[in-house]
């Protein structure tokens, strides 16, 4: 894989990752007249929960559902420059023009109203866009196994790069797919958030892993994985190095965890064999998901990785995929119990989800 680092007209970084033999040099110039990116993100800590919340009002003006011929993620063409100056590409990553977190955010430590009750800080971090292919009409499930392997390498490379930035505490690569999920750009792409704090979900998982290890001397996800192998009732796909299963306490009407058989902290620690095997297992899962209702499944798929600076021995890398689609024409809405109290009620059992996915071929 060849990596080429360039810059867009407003000084944002763009990185090309080429896996095609003989791919041309990536030296196209961004000809657009763009104003400098002005991110004014702030984070505030909720005094009742202790959780950080990001404020990013500048994102209200971000691009929203453009027609296909104006897609900003497609390659540039004569008279129609896009976010990608090249006429074609394999995989490309660039800084988000409307970031929730950015390195250049001004300001220092403070509190809301100066009262000290609600700590506030600059939303320093980084947000990147990852385009998996230049083909606007494709989806991740339609990528070749070799391209998925390239994407895994890109995720790992970006994890390493972003982990080295000042103030970054956690790196989260993810993909949102489908309008039902809230996607506003239909080109096959994902994002990477480099947070200035450890996310609430990760904090809770680390607390659970710590308590379980103190009691049992083992990692909780390792024991969950062993139990899923022994039962087999919720396993959807299995390879030499990865297993995909519906978690036994699934919250969503479609939910799959893809877990490596070996505990690693993040994507950078995966071996070549593990990366190859993930591509095969994950494509199997995605294609089953798309056959589930005979339509492209809207989903969120994100990587749970260790924090950058602490508790790396407690983390176990894994990917979580879930969908809000509970029937071909019905959505699961987060109603009072889920939204108000974070108490989930699932309309289908994990065993039923797994059986449907195993049958969806």
Catalytic residues: 189
Give residues with Cβ within 8 angstroms of 239, minimum separation 6: 277, 278, 280, 281
71 is in an annotated binding site: yes
187 is in an annotated binding site: yes
Instruction: Quote the tokens at residue 86.
Output: 């090249």
Strand 119-122: give its sheet, edge to edge. Answer: 52-55, 42-45, 119-122, 110-111
Q: How far apart are CA 32 and CA 319, in angstroms?
A: 37
136 is in an annotated binding site: yes
- Cα separations in angstroms, 72 against 45, 133, 134, 186: 34, 13, 11, 10
Whether 315 and 246 have beta carbons less than 8 Å apart is answered as: no
Q: Helix, strand or coil for residue 200?
A: helix
Whether 164 and 288 have beta carbons less than 8 Å apart is answered as: no
Annotated binding site: 71, 74, 136, 187
Annotated binding site for Zn(2+): 71, 74, 136, 187
């Amino acid at each position: 894989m060849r990596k080429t680092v360039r810059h867009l007209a407003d000084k944002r970084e763009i990185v090309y990752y080429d896996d095609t033999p003989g791919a041309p040099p990536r030296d196209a110039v961004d000809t657009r007249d763009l104003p400098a990116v002005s991110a004014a993100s702030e984070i505030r800590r909720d005094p009742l929960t202790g959780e950080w919340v990001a404020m990013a009002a500048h994102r209200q003006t971000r691009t929203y559902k453009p027609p296909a011929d104006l897609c900003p993620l497609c390659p540039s063409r004569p008279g129609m420059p896009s976010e990608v100056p090249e006429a074609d590409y394999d995989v490309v990553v660039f800084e988000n023009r409307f970031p929730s977190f950015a390195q250049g955010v001004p300001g220092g430590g403070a509190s809301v109203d100066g009262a000290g009750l609600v700590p506030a800080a600059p939303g320093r971090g980084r947000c990147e866009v990852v385009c998996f292919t230049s083909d606007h009409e494709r989806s991740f499930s339609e990528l070749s196994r070799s391209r998925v392997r390239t994407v895994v390498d890109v995720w790992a490379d970006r994890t390493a790069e972003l982990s080295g930035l000042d103030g970054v505490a956690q790196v989260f690569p993810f993909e949102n797919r489908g309008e039902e999920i809230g996607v506003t750009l239909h080109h096959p792409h994902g994002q990477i958030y480099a947070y200035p704090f450890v996310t609430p979900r990760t904090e809770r998982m680390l607390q659970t892993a710590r308590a379980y290890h103190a009691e049992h001397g083992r990692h909780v996800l390792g024991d969950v994985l062993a139990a899923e192998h022994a039962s087999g009732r919720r396993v959807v796909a299995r390879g030499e190095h990865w297993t995909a299963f519906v978690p036994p306490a699934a919250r969503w009407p479609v939910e799959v965890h893809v877990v490596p058989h070996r505990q690693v902290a993040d994507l950078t620690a995966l071996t070549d064999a593990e990366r190859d095997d993930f591509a095969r297992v994950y494509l199997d899962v995605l294609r089953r998901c798309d056959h589930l209702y005979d339509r492209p499944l809207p989903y969120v798929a994100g990587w749970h990785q260790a924090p950058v600076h602490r508790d790396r021995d407690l983390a176990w890398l894994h990917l979580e995929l879930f969908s809000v689609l509970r029937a071909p024409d019905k959505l699961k809405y987060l109603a009072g119990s889920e939204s108000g109290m974070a108490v989930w009620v699932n309309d289908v059992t994990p065993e039923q989800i797994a059986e449907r996915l195993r049958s969806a071929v």
